[in-house]
């Protein structure tokens, strides 16, 4: 069954806007788990505009489900991951000044680099997922790099969903089928929400994990965090 990992970056964004420790990011991680989340995702960036490297170190001992660290594998990120040893690391090719992740890796063009990174994390016992666009060739490249999973970048699906779910998911379904053939695990994330999530899971039920942050935290402003996590779980626990 698909697992829900809650990305808590936006909680850190709110804290950083004022300074101090309100809201408390560590407590938020614990609360998300208590409310039913099956994992916690953080995405520290070099400028630390939301999750800080120090947050990652403090949160790690408090996680009782799965801890997933996303990011571009620059030197400082690699050092952090090797120090903290999360359950999963998701490699994302975001530029230092990107507002949010906006593309997957070209796993064919930089196969050598990604292979080395995957090998390093595997030696630490860390599952490695590579962020890709919904292209079967990129899934094949990820497998060649030694990744354990891929995470499909779902922004295009979310954007096209209102115009027609079947067309919006077509490329994702083709890629997901190839991922399954390759024996890789399958994650998905970016702009998934209460409107489009259930259709995605019904169509690609072998999705192992969805990582959701912005939409979930936005919904929590109106519904409360506990009710919001329950609502998202209801969209993926459908079988």
Active site residues: 43, 70, 190
User: Phi and psi (nearest 5°) for 147?
Assistant: -70, 155
> Distance between CA atoms of 211 and 4, rounded to whole angstroms?
6
Encode burial over 162-179: b for 16+ CB neighbours within 10 A, e otherwise: eeebeebbebbeebbebb
| C-alpha closest to that of 3 among 162, 127, 144 | 127
User: Phi and psi (nearest 5°) for 158?
Assistant: -65, -40
On whether the CB atoms of residues 65 and 30 are closer than 8 A, the answer is no
Which is it for the CA torsion 229, 194, 127, 50, positive or negative? Answer: negative
Q: Which two tokens stand for residue 24?
A: 């408390």
On whether the CB atoms of residues 201 and 166 are closer than 8 A, the answer is no
């Amino acid at each position: 069954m698909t697992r829900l990992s809650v990305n808590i970056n936006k909680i850190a964004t709110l804290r950083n806007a004022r300074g101090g420790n309100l809201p408390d990011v560590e407590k938020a991680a614990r609360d998300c788990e208590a409310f039913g989340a099956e994992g916690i995702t953080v995405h520290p960036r070099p400028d630390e505009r939301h999750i800080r490297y120090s947050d990652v170190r403090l949160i790690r001992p408090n996680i009782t489900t799965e801890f997933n660290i996303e990011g571009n594998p620059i030197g400082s990120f690699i050092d952090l991951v090797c120090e903290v040893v999360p359950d999963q690391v998701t490699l994302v090719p975001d530029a230092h000044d990107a507002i949010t992740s906006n593309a997957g890796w070209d796993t064919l063009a930089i196969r050598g680099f990604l292979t080395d990174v995957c090998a390093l994390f595997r030696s630490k016992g860390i599952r490695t997922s590579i962020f890709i666009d919904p292209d079967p060739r990129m899934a094949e490249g990820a497998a060649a790099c030694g990744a354990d999973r891929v995470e499909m970048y779902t922004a295009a699906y979310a954007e096209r969903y209102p115009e027609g779910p079947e067309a919006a998911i077509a490329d994702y379904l083709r890629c997901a089928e190839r991922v399954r053939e390759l024996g890789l695990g399958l994650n998905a994330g970016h702009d998934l929400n209460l409107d489009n999530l259930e259709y995605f899971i019904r169509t690609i039920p072998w999705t192992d994990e969805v990582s959701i942050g912005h939409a979930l935290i936005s919904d929590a402003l109106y519904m409360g965090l506990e009710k919001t996590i329950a609502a998202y779980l209801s969209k993926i626990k459908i079988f």
